[in-house]
């Protein structure tokens, strides 16, 4: 998954430190976005604005990677204030009663040189369900504006059946299955 090809010079520079490096998630370059088909007329794009990712990552042992993400359910943003308010209420996220959405990985299975399946428990509206995200390493290496800083970033895609969590409003006219994309960067400490 994350063993992207790098130049020999970069590999030799990183190799002695890779197994011992600590990586910290960068919330400023992390996003959780979703898409909702709006009755066949258009596709709504939304995101959560307050996200707290925690990652244990070793590029030499990808399957030992552990990820947890805590999302403030009230931070949903769709570009329209009235809709955002509705999304936080009982028809959808019920953020007052269930203020957090969490994802905790349970396994990571490498599927290719730069890809892996991340399986984990998603908890929303007091319900926990297993979901799988297909992850791709976008890049790992020196940050272009500060070559002393090492950065890794990946994109994970999957889908969530909102009705499995009791979020039935508008279904099936508003689709039950919602595509979700997670982008996450990590900085080597």
φ and ψ at residue 186, rounded to 5 degrees: -130, 145
**Is the pLDDT assigned to residue 77 strictly greater than 80?**
yes
Mean pLDDT of the chain: 90
Cβ 115 vs Cβ 134: under 8 Å:
yes
Does the pLDDT value for residue 17 go beyond 50?
no
The domain limits of the chain are 8-188
Q: Which helix (H) or strand (E) holds 151?
A: strand 146-161
pLDDT tens digit string along 125-157?
999 999 999 999 999 999 999 999 999 999 999
Q: What is the CATH number of domain 8-188?
A: 2.40.128.110
């Amino acid at each position: 998954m994350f063993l992207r090809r790098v130049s020999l010079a970069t590999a030799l520079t990183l190799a002695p430190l890779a197994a011992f490096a600590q990586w910290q998630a960068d919330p400023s370059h992390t996003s959780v976005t979703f898409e909702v088909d709006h009755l066949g007329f258009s596709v709504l794009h939304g995101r959560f604005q307050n996200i707290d990712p925690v990652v244990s990552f070793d590029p030499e042992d990808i399957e030992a990677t552990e990820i947890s993400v805590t999302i403030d359910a009230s931070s949903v943003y769709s570009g329209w204030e009235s809709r955002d308010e509705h999304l936080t209420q009982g028809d959808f996220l019920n953020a007052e009663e269930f203020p957090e959405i969490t994802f905790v990985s349970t396994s990571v299975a490498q599927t290719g040189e730069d890809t892996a399946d991340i399986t984990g428990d998603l908890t929303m509206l007091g319900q926990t369900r297993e979901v799988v995200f297909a992850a791709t390493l976008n890049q790992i290496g020196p940050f272009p504006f500060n070559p002393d800083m090492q950065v890794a970033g990946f994109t994970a895609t999957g889908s969530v059946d909102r009705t499995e969590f009791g979020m039935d409003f508008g279904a099936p006219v508003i689709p039950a299955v919602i595509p979700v994309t997670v982008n996450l960067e990590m900085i080597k400490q």
